């Protein structure tokens, strides 16, 4: 009898369009093939209407959650095997209502039903909840701050339970869903359609491979880069290039002298060049010694030691100028300069300024440190007088530098034909590099402030390769 099912709690699955309804059976009409639910819930949310009627053709699945016979309430586990469904559907119809056996009528996650008072019960099973998993049915509910955990759980269910979709237990199958998408086939279809319609394919012209750019390239079109921006009338035997690829040719010493003579006529005197060379060389030296990682107020007890080996010429004056700037930056500088009978005025002037700093001047190799220093700056060589290498003081100083096991920086070394008595790790050239030998080490170039028109006067087409720096490294082209 249809009346036997009145008051039972059922769950009706009406497909993906209508969703799932749960509620208490209020009436069953076998003639019209309809069933009505009192106080219904739609997808876990209470419906605004007190009663909803369904047709048998809309019901895909029916589950009996709780059976009530008169005033006696029994669970689905007591339903006799072979019980019939209150709504009849033609036999063989694919929309037939499923009648679950007692073993199948279990309360699964996401199913919601009503208790005896008609209030929502068990909106959703809360994971990681001690109150819902670890307490037995006969255990007392502990109190916290005068409020039972059961009451707090009901509040949580009312606050967080509404609006939760059924089936949250089922994890989304990302791999399976991704396997359904054939990327190659889709893009092939798009390309075929766009070619047929004469349209562009993903922002590129038809049958044209898009240009690929590196991370350091500009995607905006501009003027083509000319990597040979310096042209000399008499190229030297070597060519160098900067980090950005600009070609820097070497020049002969004769062209180098003409360039400095022209600059001096326009006011770039020897004193100015010495000062500029000393600043650039000291800045490079400070970087080689550790830069900001070493020169800090907290590291004054580890002052680096630099040994300067200078001769009585312009290169020696450049080294003394560099030593003065290093001493001003808390570097312990030891200057080796023998007591010559005759020295250039520029050397004397630079030596007078150096003696006003904390630097130390020695005239004998015996006064140089026996232990390795942090850096040796070699200014013994001269462009004009290669015979200095035969002097006893020169040979003794060169032997000390080669045996000290400290890295060597050569300042303005001569051309490769003269050779190098001291093996250097770095060499610093001025303005434009000379063709240096392999013993000069890695070549660096410093800007001493020669104007552009001075280059043009001696026949050099020049464009500065320095960028934002005054000292740049050069590589063999």
Where does a domain end: 109, 124, 139?
Answer: 124
Residue 189 placed within a domain:
no
Q: What is the pLDDT of residue 225?
A: 67
Please check whether residues 243 and 119 belong to one and the same domain: no
Q: Is it the case that residue 151 has pLDDT exceeding 70?
A: no
Query: What value does the mean pLDDT take over residues 412-428?
Result: 82
* CATH code (residue 99): 2.30.30.100
Where does a domain end: 62, 95, 124?
Answer: 124
Domain that holds residue 368: 239-295+302-476
pLDDT in tens, 197-247: 765 545 555 555 666 777 777 666 666 666 889 999 988 788 999 998 899
Query: What value does the mean pLDDT take over residues 351-367?
Result: 94
The winner for highest mean pLDDT among 48-57, 65-74, 159-168 is 48-57
Cβ atoms within 10 Å, residue 149: 17
Please check whether residues 117 and 246 belong to one and the same domain: no
Residue 162 placed within a domain:
no
* CATH code (residue 384): 3.40.50.10260
Where does a domain end: 67, 91, 124?
Answer: 124
Structure token digits, residue 241: 């290039």
Please check whether residues 439 and 315 belong to one and the same domain: yes
Of the listed ranges 80-94, 281-295, 317-331, 449-463, the one predicted with least confidence: 80-94
Structurally, how many domains does the chain consist of?
2
pLDDT band at 91 (very low <50, low <70, confident <90, very high): very low
The winner for highest mean pLDDT among 19-23, 100-104, 109-113, 353-357 is 353-357
142 versus 436: the higher-pLDDT residue is 436
Residue 193 placed within a domain:
no
Residue 306 placed within a domain:
yes
Q: What is the pLDDT of residue 154?
A: 67
133 versus 55: the higher-pLDDT residue is 55
pLDDT band at 86 (very low <50, low <70, confident <90, very high): very low
**pTM recorded for the entire structure:** 0.55
Q: Is it the case that residue 183 has pLDDT exceeding 90?
A: no
Please check whether residues 258 and 402 belong to one and the same domain: yes
Residue 175 placed within a domain:
no
Residue 203 placed within a domain:
no
Residue 288 placed within a domain:
yes
Residue 282 placed within a domain:
yes
Q: What is the pLDDT of residue 207?
A: 52
User: Of the candidates 416, 464, 407, 473, which has an alpha carbon nearest to the alpha carbon of residue 439?
Assistant: 416
């Amino acid at each position: 009898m249809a009346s036997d099912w009145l008051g039972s709690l059922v769950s009706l699955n009406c497909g993906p369009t209508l969703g799932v309804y749960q509620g208490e059976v209020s009436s069953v009409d076998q003639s019209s093939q309809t069933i009505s639910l009192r106080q219904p819930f739609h997808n876990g949310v209470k419906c605004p209407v007190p009663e909803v009627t369904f047709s048998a053709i809309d019901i895909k699945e029916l589950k009996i959650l709780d059976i009530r016979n008169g005033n006696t309430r029994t669970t689905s586990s007591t339903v006799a095997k072979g019980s019939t469904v209150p709504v009849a559907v033609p036999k063989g119809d694919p929309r037939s209502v499923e009648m679950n056996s007692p073993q199948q009528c279990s309360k699964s996650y996401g199913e919601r039903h009503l208790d005896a008072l008609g209030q929502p019960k068990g909106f959703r099973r809360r994971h990681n909840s001690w109150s819902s998993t670890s307490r037995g049915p006969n255990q007392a509910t502990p109190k916290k701050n005068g409020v039972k955990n059961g009451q707090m759980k009901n509040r949580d269910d009312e606050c967080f339970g509404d609006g939760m979709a059924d089936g949250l237990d089922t994890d989304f199958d990302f791999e399976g869903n991704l396997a359904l998408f054939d990327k190659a086939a889709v893009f092939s279809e798009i390309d075929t359609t766009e070619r047929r319609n004469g349209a562009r394919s993903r922002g590129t012209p038809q049958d044209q491979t898009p240009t690929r750019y590196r991370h350091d390239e500009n995607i905006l079109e501009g003027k083509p880069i000319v990597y040979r921006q310096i042209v000399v009338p008499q190229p030297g035997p070597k060519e160098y290039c900067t980090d950005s690829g600009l070609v820097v040719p070497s020049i002969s010493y004769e062209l180098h002298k003409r360039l400095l003579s022209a600059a001096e006529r326009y006011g770039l005197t020897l004193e100015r060049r010495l000062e500029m060379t000393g600043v650039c060389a000291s800045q490079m030296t400070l970087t080689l010694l550790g830069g900001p990682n070493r020169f800090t107020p907290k590291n004054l007890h580890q002052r680096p030691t630099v040994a300067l080996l200078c001769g009585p010429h312009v290169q020696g004056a450049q080294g003394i100028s560099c030593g003065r700037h290093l001493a001003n930056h808390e570097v312990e500088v030891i200057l080796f300069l023998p007591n010559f009978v005759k020295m250039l005025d520029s050397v004397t002037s630079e030596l007078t300024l150096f003696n006003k700093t904390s630097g130390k001047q020695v005239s004998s190799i015996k006064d140089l440190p026996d232990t390795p220093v942090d850096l040796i700056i070699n200014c013994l060589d001269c462009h004009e007088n290669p015979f200095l290498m035969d002097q006893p003081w020169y040979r003794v100083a060169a032997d000390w530098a080669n045996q000290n096991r400290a890295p060597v920086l050569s300042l303005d070394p001569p051309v490769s034909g003269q050779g190098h008595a001291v093996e250097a790790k770095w060499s610093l050239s001025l303005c434009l590099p000379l063709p240096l030998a392999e013993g000069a080490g890695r070549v660096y170039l410093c800007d001493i402030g020669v104007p552009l028109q001075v280059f043009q006067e001696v026949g050099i087409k020049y464009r500065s390769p320095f960028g934002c720096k005054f000292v740049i490294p050069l590589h063999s082209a």
